[in-house]
Every structure is written in structure tokens, then in C-alpha cells.
Amino acid sequence: MAIHDSILELVGDTPIIRARRLDTGPCTLYLKLESQNPGGSIKDRIGMAMIEAAEKRGDIKPGDTLVEGTAGNTGIGLALAAQQKGYMLILVVPDKMSREKIFNLKAMGAQVVLTRSDVAKGHPDYYQDLAARIAAETPGAYFINQFGNPDNPAAHEFGTGPEILRQMAEVGGLDAIVFGCGSSGTMTGLSRCFAAQSPHTELVLADPVGSILEEYINRGTLSDKSGSWLVEGIGEDFLPPISDFTRVKKAYAVSDKDSFLAARELLEKEGVLGGSSSGTLLAAALRYCREQTTPKNVLVFVCDTGNKYLSKMYNDYWMLDNGFLAREQHGDLRDLILRPFAQRDTVVVGPNDLLVTAWQRMKLYDVSQLPVMDGERLVGIVDESDVLLHVYGDEARFRDPVATAMVRKLDQVDVRASIESLLPVFDRGHVAIVMDGERFLGLITRIDLLNYLRRRVQ
């Protein structure tokens, strides 16, 4: 195995594996693991390429400030190269991005500016427009501008494309490739490469529901109205300046739910931990494969690693909150309990446990209160305020048992009560403790009720 002098030397030459357990119809599906790049995504390629091309032109030099608007992964690719090459980096990121990506960016030294994800291009808070404005207002700053930068598709035309064709030659070539489109660099670069070197390869776009691109490809109409979607990194509400869709003849619109479930299926069946856009691409690729009547070699990108989405689509509670996983319906208040006690999902503490243990569980599971259980019997509840008031002025009291600080007078609600009966409990600043006679079922918080109401609207 070769010894490398820089992490940047590991960008590219990512492996391809054949899917074995997915239903691919008559086709053979190959997974291009861009998640194996050092920054965890296909965007490492353009992050390095755009900086190095600017260096060669003399546009930037070490010590300069770079600015970009990014859905996250391009930012990580840029941060990787900027860190190694000695640049300051300011990244404008929409607030729907996973916190893992944001933590990653900050840990690499990038300055992260969060902005709204519910506004379209042309709005001053739209992440690309805000990034351009910050670059213009920052003396000496260089705006990377992945959406209008020809170095973006060039990285794929002369790097990713030839690499794929070289790898797929071992299995007889490539009949179709499935990709997503954000800045459109991957699609545009591959399209140009394949036009010259593999013109029979069909280009298939996977697009989130809400994006305008699927309609543009399949019906030739360019809508000025877009929706919103939770999948990160792909889908657009405009045509990027560097985009070239002329060779793309087929597109699939994929819902958030189908995207997340496909990504989870990829992990369950193939052992590949992919991100949210990887789920979109996989769902589209499987639909394409199953529609074919003759065998084809089809390749799909695993665009990035699912490590960046552990708090979202790989979190069952997040999936349940957003209505992406089905839950058993009872027609009573059990339908609002996110963590049922009977399933051992409720985070609890015992009356003889230490207060420091209660505090640690609140922090670990990101909850504000804990039922206090003596076996199967509910004996109290302890929340952040109870712990704070007990230990303030004498931190040694963290070693006191939970029973010394817990509340014994409880706001209990019968499981058959109406949803409206929760409102007075919340108005008192409490959580609803749902009981079936003497049996504790779980807690309902304000956010649980809000999530329930939102799911009903959906």
C-alpha cells in the first residue's frame, strides 16, 4: 500500500461494488462509493479542483479568504483543501443541513454562516445570494461560486467520468448512470465525457419532489415555483449557469420518504451507509432498473456517507416525528407518545439513582424531564429545573438520590382523554403523563403534540 503525503491525494479513485440483495429487475446495479473520499462525499473532487484551478490562474494564494454557499458537502470538500493549502474559508449553509455536517465544517476551521432554507434564489437570505454578498463585502475575498464555476464540471469531465468508464470496462461497459443535480457539475461533466467516450450511456436524473428539474427533463417546462424538501445537496429551483441537460432524457421525482427509506434499505441489505441524496438516487435507480426489459449495467452514486445523517434519517424518532416511519395507531393518546414505555423507549431514572445520573441521561438523550420509575411503578418525575434548584449553591448535591429532588404530585392524563385535555397541562408548564389506570404509558410534550398535528396536515 502506498504512503501518501497529504489527505488530498486520497480524493478520487473510489471503489465500485455490485449490489447483491436489492431488487434490480433484469439489470445489474453498481454502487460507486463516493462516500469513500476522505471528506466523505463526491464533492471532495470539486472542492480540490476548484481551488487548484484558481491557484493555477493566479486568482488566489495561501492566506486569502474563500467564500461559498453550500448545502454542506461542497463546503467539506473546500474545507479539506483550504485547510491543507492555508486558506481562510467562509461558508453560507442553509439551516436544514444536518448538524453533523455543520460540526464537521467548524472542526475543520471553516466559519459557518447559517441562513434560511425556506427562501428561493433572488431572496437576500438565499444561501447562494448571501454568499455572493459576503464575498463582495469582504476585502480580497474570492467567491468560489460552484454554480457558475466551469472548474466544477471539468473535475468530472476529466476526472470522475474517465475513472468510471475505466472501472466499468471490466464488466462490459456502462449502459446507464443515475445521478442527482445540485450545482449540476457532476451531470454536466459526465455528460460531456460520455458524449465523447461512451455515447450510448443513458443519463438518468434523480430529483427530489419539490425541485423543478424533473419537470424540465420529462416535460420540457421550466416552472418558476418550487416546493421544499428535506433531502440535502440535490434538487434546485433554477437552472444553474453551468448546467447542460441536453443529453439527459429521463428523470424521476423521488419523495423525501422514499429517499430516506431507500437509504436505510441500502444499509440493511448491502451494508452501505449512504446519505440522504444517495437514497434519492438509489430509489430512482431501482425504478429505472425494474422498468427495463433487457439486462443493463447501471451505475448509481453513493454520493456521501450516512455518518452525516445519524441524527436525522437513521434516527427512528426523527423518522417517526416526520411521518416517514409507520406507527401503530390506537385512536387515543398513545398515538402522540413518541417513546412508549412498554417498548422500553422511554428514558427513565430510578428514585435511588444519583442526580448526576439523571442529568447525564437528559444530556445524552436530549430530553428535559425523566419519569422516575420504581420497577414498573411511576413514583415521580424530575426535570432540569428540579435538578438545578436542588444542586444550586452546593454542587456536591449532584450525589444525592433522585428521590430528594423529584416531583411526586404528577399531571396524569388518562389515555382515553381528549387531545384538548393536554392543553391545560402544557399551560401549567408541565408534560402530560399518560396513564392506563395504574400503568404508565409514556410522556407527551408540547413538541410531541405539534409533530402530531403536523403529521395530520401532511
**If you ran DSSP here, which 8-state letter would residue 286 be given?**
H
CA distance 274 to 217: 26
In the set 32, 43, 296, 312, the catalytic residue is: 43
Longest dimension (CA), the chain: 76
DSSP string, 242-275: T---TTEEEEEEE-HHHHHHHHHHHHHHH---B-
Closest C-alpha among 322, 350, 333 to residue 441 = 333
Respond yes or no: is residue 277 known to be catalytic: yes
Q: Starting from the edge strand earliest in sequence, which strands make up the sheet with 142-143, in order?
A: 111-115, 88-94, 65-69, 142-143
Q: What is the Cα–Cα distance from 83 to 77, expressed in whole angstroms?
A: 10
Residue type, 267: L
Is residue 298 within 8 Å of residue 164, measured between CB atoms?
no
| Phi, psi angle pair for 299, to nearest 5° | -115, 140
Q: What are 18's three cell numbers? A: 455490485
User: Which residue, among 206, 455, 211, has the nearest Cα to 318 in the 3D structure?
Assistant: 455
Q: Which of 85, 277, 278, 308 is catalytic?
A: 277
Catalytic: 101?
no
Residues assigned a catalytic role: 43, 277
